[in-house]
């Protein structure tokens, strides 16, 4: 009977056990592992030994996860990354492994290779080409689990940042299998969404890469998906990706060349769609139109189409749920952030600005009122620079008339009554109410309204009314704005009947936002003697 095989197996298991223990210690070490630690570990357990164990002993409980975590930390060091070029066949096999953990590790290893490469030598890009790594990364993107897909995206994004790497990610020929348009055409709906997610990541790399994406007609993939309403979840996922894309710094100029705004407006106007789709379309438009430079690149007619669509939804009493109404008001608030956006809303033939003003002082829907108050704050210029708060004459007159109109329709009758009513509500509504007042007091008519209600001044000068940091700062900012406008008005400063208000404002501004108390004399503390 041969005793050799059992003895070899026992020895191998003992060796595996030592590797597992050491790998676990390395993987779980708190903090960042340095080059010296990585070298010391690999001197004890060379990479071929670890790779062999990973391939041959996958059935050992916990071994695969431990070795994967260990190798991930090894390759994140410069010493470990320097060894990757010598083990590319392992990476190549790993990208095609049945194990999702191993595939994820292989994708992250590619990222480590690229991040630590000498861009001048182009060696990393040459290795990617030599071992045909890019097609394997794409396969991981569309066929791997969520973690594998994310790791693959990161690796491809890093590749696109390197010299010649861009040419791999964006092949010159449309017929290339690796062309993202061709890849998307062959994918499941999940795969297509992942390809679009990759495009968003690549779009964020630089304006030059974004231009390549536009020139490659890859943005039309988004247009096609949001025009196809057969799968609500897919459409919603694509809208979420667009929501991320419009936040990218150079997105405005490039997206303005597409039919995106018109398509989003058609979604907003389509009452047969799920309200969540219309809501997300509104929020994307709001984000895109919140930037001042949007109006340098976007045709005003396209903006008006969007505004008209939102106005149509707010004017519709049918099938408009609370969430959609709040999304519409928030989108208008985003548009109102920019000077041109605010003027467009106030000067358009639509009733959008009226929706905002009326809802801001309507206590029938709390969420709706909060969204409208923040939108009114943006429209009035609370978030704009000091020299951009005041709009052109016609827009200013419209804003004034709308607020007086809203007051005349309410039991409060005056704007000051409306403002006081808002500030007398619960903390969250009061916090939102500070914003429009902060901006509106730059207008003499509003400052007069504020000064006509001393109760408003009492609230904004009361350091104890707010209990949260954000609330204290918002109250104080409002108080400062009123005080600043007041001191600039010769008429009000010279009015003896307003001396009390002037004193309250000055004292509150001097004390600051955080519950500062007036200086008081020290008082002696008298205690009775303790008796035993």
Dump pLDDT digits (tens) for 130-151: 999 999 999 999 999 999 999 9
pLDDT of residue 350: 65
Is position 201 within any domain? no
Domain that holds residue 103: 12-133
Dump pLDDT digits (tens) for 11-48: 345 577 888 888 888 888 887 778 999 999 899 888 98
Residue with the larger pLDDT of the pair 230 and 338: 338
Is position 1 within any domain? no
Average pLDDT over residues 100-121: 86
Contact 338, 290 (CB under 8 A): yes
The whole-chain average pLDDT of the chain stands at: 87
Give the DSSP per-residue string, 259-282: SHHHHHHHHHH-TTS-HHHHHHHH
CB-based contacts of 416, cutoff 8 Å, min separation 6: 449, 450, 452, 453, 456
What is the number of domains present in the chain?
A: 2
pLDDT of residue 92: 94
* Closest to 16 in 3D by CA, of 69, 73, 62: 62
Q: How far is the C-alpha of 408 from the C-alpha of 441, rounded, in Å?
A: 20
CB-based contacts of 306, cutoff 8 Å, min separation 6: 261, 264, 265, 268, 285, 289
Is position 24 within any domain? yes
Which of residues 110, 133, 156 is at a domain's end?
133
pLDDT of residue 21: 86
Is position 125 within any domain? yes
Residue with the larger pLDDT of the pair 117 and 513: 513
Spacing of C-alpha 340 from chain mean position: 23
Q: How far is the C-alpha of 373 from the C-alpha of 391, rounded, in Å?
A: 19
Is position 191 within any domain? no
Average pLDDT over residues 153-168: 92
Q: How far is the C-alpha of 63 from the C-alpha of 15, rounded, in Å?
A: 12
Residue 311 pLDDT > 70, yes or no? yes
Residue 121 pLDDT > 70, yes or no? no
∠ Cα 515 520 522 (to 5°): 120
pLDDT of residue 151: 96
Is position 107 within any domain? yes
Residue 5 pLDDT > 50, yes or no? no
**pLDDT above 70 covers what percent of the chain?**
92
Which of residues 133, 156, 174 is at a domain's end?
133
Is position 94 within any domain? yes
Is position 140 within any domain? no
The C-alpha R_g of the chain, in whole angstroms, comes to 31
pTM of the model: 0.84
């Amino acid at each position: 009977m041969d005793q050799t095989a059992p003895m070899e197996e026992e020895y191998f298991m003992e060796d595996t056990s030592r590797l597992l223990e050491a790998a676990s210690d390395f993987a779980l070490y708190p903090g960042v592992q340095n080059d010296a630690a990585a070298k010391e570990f690999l001197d004890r357990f060379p990479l071929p030994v670890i790779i062999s164990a990973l391939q041959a002993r996958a059935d050992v409980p916990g071994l695969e996860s431990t070795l994967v975590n260990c190798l991930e930390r090894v390759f994140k060091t410069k010493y470990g990354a320097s060894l990757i070029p010598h083990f590319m066949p392992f990476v190549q096999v790993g990208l095609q492994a049945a194990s999702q953990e191993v595939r994820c590790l292989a994708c992250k290893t590619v990222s480590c290779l690229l991040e630590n490469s000498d861009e001048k030598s182009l060696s990393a890009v040459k290795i990617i080409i030599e071992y045909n790594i890019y097609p394997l990364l794409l396969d991981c993107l569309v066929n791997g689990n969520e973690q594998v897909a994310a790791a693959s995206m990161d690796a491809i994004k890093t590749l696109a940042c390197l010299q010649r790497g861009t040419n791999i990610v964006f092949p010159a020929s449309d017929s290339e299998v690796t062309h993202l348009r061709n890849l998307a055409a062959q994918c499941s709906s999940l795969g297509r969404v992942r390809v679009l997610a990759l495009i968003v990541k690549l779009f964020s790399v630089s304006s030059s890469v974004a231009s390549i994406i536009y020139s490659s007609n890859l943005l039309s993939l988004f247009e096609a998906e949001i025009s196809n309403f057969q799968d609500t979840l897919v459409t919603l996922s694509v809208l979420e990706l667009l929501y991320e894309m419009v936040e990218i710094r150079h997105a405005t100029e490039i997206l303005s060349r597409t039919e995106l705004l018109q398509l989003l407006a058609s979604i907003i106007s389509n009452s047969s769609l799920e309200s969540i789709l219309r809501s997300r379309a509104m929020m994307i438009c709001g984000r895109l139109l919140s930037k001042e430079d949007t109006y340098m690149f976007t045709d005003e007619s396209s903006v008006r189409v969007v505004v008209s669509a939102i106005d149509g939804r707010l004017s519709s009493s049918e099938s408009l749920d609370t969430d959609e109404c709040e999304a519409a008001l928030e989108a208008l608030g985003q548009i109102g952030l920019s000077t041109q956006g605010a003027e467009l809303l106030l000067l358009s033939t639509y009733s959008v600005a009226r929706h905002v003003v009326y809802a801001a002082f309507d206590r029938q829907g709390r969420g709706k009122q909060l969204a409208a108050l923040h939108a009114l704050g943006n429209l009035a210029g609370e978030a704009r620079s000091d020299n951009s708060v005041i709009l052109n004459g016609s827009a200013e007159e419209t804003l004034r008339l709308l607020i007086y109109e809203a007051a005349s329709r309410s039991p409060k009758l005056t704007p000051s009554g409306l403002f006081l009513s808002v500030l007398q509500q619960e903390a969250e509504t009061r916090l939102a109410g500070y914003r429009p007042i902060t901006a509106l007091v730059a207008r003499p008519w509003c400052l007069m309204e504020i000064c006509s209600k001393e109760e408003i001044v009492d609230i904004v000068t009361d350091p104890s009314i707010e209990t949260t940091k954000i609330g204290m700062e918002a109250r104080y900012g409002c108080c400062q704005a009123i005080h600043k406008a007041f001191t600039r008005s010769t008429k009000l400063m010279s009015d003896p009947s307003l001396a009390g208000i002037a004193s309250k404002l000055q004292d509150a501004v001097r004390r600051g936002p955080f519950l500062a108390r007036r200086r008081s004399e020290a008082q002696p503390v008298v205690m009775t003697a303790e008796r035993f």
